[in-house]
Structure 1
Amino acid sequence: MQFMVIEHFRDQDAKAVYARFREKGRLMPDGISFVASWVTADLGRCFQVMECDDATLLQRWVAEWADLVRFEILPVTAGKETAAALAP
């Protein structure tokens, strides 16, 4: 299953987030796959697509970053798949 992960950098402190990333990596447990990410121009948020079959793994990952990032995690499907599912 794919998830849109919206990271809100606490105090818009992207430098702290990227410093930890450089030092420790993504800190994701096995079973989560990173697909892609985009960062807003104001360095306040990051949008990531992740794949995972067990949402508790995402919770473990969030716990590693909760001091620097507030998360929104939304299960998503590709628009093409949704269109096919809703076709007459």
Structure 2
Amino acid sequence: MKKYMVIENFKPGLMEENYKVYNAKGRQFPEGLHYLNSWANTEKNICFQLMESNDEALFYEWFKKWDKFVDFELFPLD
């Protein structure tokens, strides 16, 4: 599986609401998208997630579920 770094930039004032949805529904990953680890900086409203998948398109499917709260950046890792 290929590894990716996902950078989540929380939209102003929405980080708390984002975590309410997360606590109620989980990460809501599509089948085939796998979470490995994450690191958050609440002061900067940013989260880094190390993930893996064989299908990069699954990330964009997942991003659509959270784009109300977050602007995403996706970086394939070598």
Same fold flag (TM > 0.5) = yes
Return the letter of the residue paired with 1:42. Answer: E
- The structure number with the bigger radius of gyration is 1
- TM-score, normalised with respect to structure 1: 0.82
Distance 1:14 1:34, change over 3 A: same
Return the letter of the residue paired with 1:50. Answer: M
**1:12 CA displacement:** 4.7
Question: Identity of counterpart residues, as a percentage?
Answer: 34
Partner secondary structure for residue 19 of structure 1: helix
CA deviation vs aligned residue, 1:54-76 (integer Å, no higher than 9, x gap): 01111100000011000000001
Q: Which runs of 4+ in 1 moved over 2 A?
A: none
Q: Which has the higher strand share?
A: 2
**Structure 2 regions of 5+ residues with no counterpart?**
none
Higher relative contact order (CA 8 A, sep 6+): 2
- TM-score, normalised with respect to structure 2: 0.92
After superposition, the CA RMSD in angstroms is 1.1
Q: How many residues align?
A: 77
- Work out the CA distance in 2 between the residues paired with 1:63 and 1:10: 14
**1:13 CA displacement:** 2.6
**Structure 1 regions of 5+ residues with no counterpart?**
78-88
CA deviation vs aligned residue, 1:22-54 (integer Å, no higher than 9, x gap): 011101101011000000140510000010110
